[in-house]
Amino acid sequence: MIYIFDDRAQRRKDNEEKLRAFSEFIIFDTVKLISGKSADESIFDSIENPECIIFHKSYALGDDNVTFETIRQMFADFGVPTVIFSGGTEGSNKSAKEIIMNADLMYNNLPFFLENRKKNGVINIDTLLWGKRFRLNALLEFQNKMAQEYFVNNDPDSPLYDHDKVQRYINNLGRKINTKDFIDTIISSIMATPQMTWSDLNTIIDNNIRKFQ
């Protein structure tokens, strides 16, 4: 079951109605305080066999003794993907244990995420992060970050400096977008071309992305 905790009543109600077709494996839940138990204990006792937990970062818990960090650690103990969403978050950040993303982006991509779950029977967080064409969109984000970090700040015809540093940066981005085959191709091209220029690297990235368009 996929649990969504959102304390914005109207937003929760609107999306619950839109996503009624997926009600067999999604629950729009609220934190129900149980007498004699703290908010985190109440949440823990209300979750059964979760596949994924989606939680509003600034949820009003109604218990001053429970912090967001307490909730975050509790969710980590379930050992399933945890998505923390907030209207104040710009972009997305994906780590091994937690995904942090913008609230509007999360709700916009939620239908694709749930459709993929319904069709394939598995949780694919990438569809929540990047939508229906998640692989292409993830690669375009990779290309944009490479441009910001390197391409706009260097002469296109100058050779790459510090190959090891560039490769580490590419590998770190690759872990976030979960596209090992694509990243391996880029790294192999760099290693095979000692005098590669920034323009060469940009062209290699662009040509490999085009394969997914």
Q: Both 155 and 60 in a single domain?
A: no
Domain that holds residue 167: 135-210
Per-residue pLDDT of 129-144, as tens digits, reads 999 888 898 899 899 9
Q: Both 83 and 163 in a single domain?
A: no
Q: What's residue 213's pLDDT?
A: 67
Domain boundary among 97, 131, 165: 131
Domain boundary among 101, 131, 161: 131
Tell me the backbone φ, ψ of residue 155, rounded to 5 degrees.
-60, 125
Q: What's residue 185's pLDDT?
A: 92
Domain boundary among 131, 149, 181: 131
Contact, 190 vs 160, CB < 8 A? Answer: yes
Beta strands in 38-180 (DSSP E): 52-56, 82-86, 92-94, 98-102
pTM: 0.80
Dihedral sign for Cα 99, 105, 107, 112, please: negative
- Looking at the structure of the chain, the number of domains it has is 2
Q: What percent of the chain has pLDDT over 70?
A: 98
Q: Confidence class of residue 124 from pLDDT cuts 50, 70 and 90? A: very high
Q: Both 49 and 120 in a single domain?
A: yes
Tell me the two tokens of residue 121.
Answer: 């029977």
Q: Both 114 and 146 in a single domain?
A: no
Per-residue pLDDT of 142-175, as tens digits, reads 999 999 999 998 999 999 988 889 999 999 888 7
Q: Both 23 and 98 in a single domain?
A: yes
Q: Helix 163-177 to helix 180-192 angle, to the nearest 10 degrees?
A: 170
Contact, 143 vs 106, CB < 8 A? Answer: no
- Identity of the highest mean pLDDT range in 31-35, 60-64, 171-175, 189-193: 189-193
Q: Both 121 and 27 in a single domain?
A: yes
